[in-house]
Amino acid sequence: MPSVGHALKRARELGKTVILNPAPASRPLPADWYANIDYLIPNESEATALSGVPVDSWTPPR
């Protein structure tokens, strides 16, 4: 995954819009990556893996 982190950083340096689909995510992303991501597009299982919160619908948690 170091190559992904490098690509995110380099794209940010070049002023590009960064869209990351973290498939297949099985654990949280490195914290320093988030500053370089404009749009994060996980599916339900990836959102659960990234957040640690069960995601099973479009209803926001309360």
CA angle in degrees (0–180, nearest 5) for 35-16-26: 50
Q: Mean pLDDT score of the chain, rounded to an integer?
A: 89
Q: Quick one: pLDDT at residue 62?
A: 62
Q: Looking at the predicted structure, is the pLDDT value of residue 41 above 80?
A: yes
Residue pLDDT, tens place only, 22-31: 988 878 899 9
The label of the residue with tokens 């659960």 reads 48
- The domain ranges of the chain are 2-50
pLDDT band for 8, please (50, 70, 90 cuts).
Answer: very high
Amino acid at 3: S
CA angle in degrees (0–180, nearest 5) for 51-46-37: 75
